[in-house]
A and B are shown apart, each in its own frame.
Chain A
Amino acid sequence: MNIKKTALYELHKKHNAKFVEFAGYSMPIQYSEGIVKEHNITRNKSGIFDVSHMGQLFIKYSNDITDKLQEILPTDLKNLKINQSKYSFLMKENGGIYDDLIITRMKDKYMIILNAACKQNDLQIIKNKLKDQNLDMNNNLSLVAIQGPESKTILENVVSNVSKLKFMNGENYSFKNNEIFITRSGYTGEDGFEISLPNKVAVSFVEELISKGSTLIGLGARDTLRLEAGLCLYGHDINENTSPVEANLKWAISKNRINDNFIGSHQIKKQIEEGVSKLRVGIKPETRVIARESTKIFDERNNEIGKVTSGTFGPSVNASIAMGYISNSHSKTDTKVYLEVRGKKVPANVCELPFYKKSYVKGEANV
């Protein structure tokens, strides 16, 4: 299989990117600044992320589309306003998650943003559900995120009127006579935007953002940023065998859908009523030791009670941070646990997420 490249590949190269293969794409893991500096640039100023490897699926409205999609997503799509986005899951029969996604109601269609590693499988599931074998991802579009406190001003200099967008809302804009769609959203815990735009203008768009003061950021810093923000990475923190309830993402299931039928709803309802045996929590080691994925978690009596699903060093909190699943009886904040790293037991504490407080902006009125 040939390794795929995004429309921004040559630009990454020009900016001295180090590449890594991710979900079949050659993606920048970091640039010459390095992960920690890129992380801090995003937190303090503004960073640009090429996320064009993610799937962009558009589904035109027809009679029963919303009902059909509600059978596989636990989200209330009927009350979704035009241009509003929601975080949702492609559900599996056992209550597990095939993928996590963002769905937006556009004027004449739904836009669904899918994880790169899952998108082909997701597409097949959605095609089968909608009985539409012609449905396909739009590969003519790139997806760029700009994140961090100065992003609003920088993007406003390139595309007028973006600052009026509210969090988890989108709008059509234009760039060099091309229609682009911008949502106020992101994956860093910072205020920011995600821009879906034609491949042919992707390079000039990103170059303009750079010239206005933003900086290209690689997947390495994207990971430390999202983990500090307590956000899940599919395939690690959530997967086909973790339910949204176990993942502590119950908030993303619309309240009026809990008693409704969707794939896996029986299991979800049961978990909400009877509780779960394991829960995703934040974990803070007492030392700087990093507890990476698969690190075993023990209680004070040396019983294994869970596993780490993501762990790294958080530059903004200046500490080692991790997330993982832990037996429900030990999931309370401040519970003392032990992480087995290189044969030694490292003391740690269950903590609330996020590690780093978000500064999402709800819209111009609240600034």
Chain B
Amino acid sequence: MSDTKFSKEHEWITLDGEVGTIGITKHATEMLGDIVFAELPEKGSNVEKDGTAGVVESTKAASDVYTPVSGEVVEINQSIVDDPSKINADPEGGAWFFKLKLKDKSELDTLMNKEEYDKFAKETSA
């Protein structure tokens, strides 16, 4: 997953052509604890970089999910809504949140690579 990019809000994105797949990082799930609820943006809706694009709730608290880039939601992962525990089990794989048709690929340049994110996550959680 060397092409995966990361945001400071603990989302990840991988690009396949024009379409980006977005989810939350393993580090985020570890901070949240057991996730018991997930809400995703509507298919066909447009989301703006750093805007709210969903909610996850653990037994403890609710957290917004932000989108790291702007675009149109072309697909959502209903399976994590039906069984939110999948997010804890496979956050950076099968438990992706939504897919976006990117509006502006250059927005990806503002994001971190894996090494930068790992460092960021370690520093901010200390």
A312 CA to B34 CA, complexed, in Å: 12
Contacts of B36 in A (CB 8 A): 36, 288, 290, 313, 315, 320
Write the residues of chain B forming the contact surface with A, with a CB cutoff of 8 angstroms. Answer: 33-34, 36-37, 39, 55, 57-60, 62, 81, 84-85, 88
Q: In the complex the two chains form, is B34's CB within 8 Å of A36's CB?
A: yes
How far apart are the CA atoms of A59 and B37 in the complex, in Å? 47
Q: Is A30 an interface residue when CB atoms closer than 8 A count as contact? A: yes
- 30 A–B contact pairs at CB < 8 A? A30-B33, A34-B33, A34-B34, A34-B88, A35-B33, A35-B34, A35-B60, A36-B34, A36-B36, A36-B85, A223-B59, A224-B59, A288-B36, A288-B37, A288-B81, A288-B84, A290-B36, A290-B37, A290-B57, A290-B62, A292-B62, A312-B59, A313-B36, A313-B37, A313-B57, A313-B59, A315-B36, A315-B59, A320-B36, A342-B55
Chain B min CB distance to A220 (Å): 6
Q: When chains A and B are docked, how far (Å) is the Cα of A172 from the Cα of B123? A: 51
Inside 8 A of B39's CB, which chain A residues have their CB? Answer: 289
Chain A residues closer than 8 Å to B55, beta-carbon distance: 342
Residues facing B in A149-196 (CB within 8 A) are: none
* Contact pick for B59, options A220, A289, A342, CB 8 Å: A220
Q: Contact string, A280-317, partner B, CB cutoff 8 A, digits 1/0?
A: 00000000111010000000000000000000110100
Count residues of A near B (Cβ-Cβ below 8 Å).
18
Q: Which residues of A contact B (CB under 8 A)?
A: 29-30, 34-37, 220, 223-224, 288-290, 292, 312-313, 315, 320, 342
Nearest B-chain residue to A289, judged by Cβ: B37
**In the assembly, what is the distance between CA of A342 and CA of B63, in Å?**
11
Residues of A within 8 A of B88 (CB): 34
Query: CA–CA, A35 to B34, complex, Å?
Result: 7
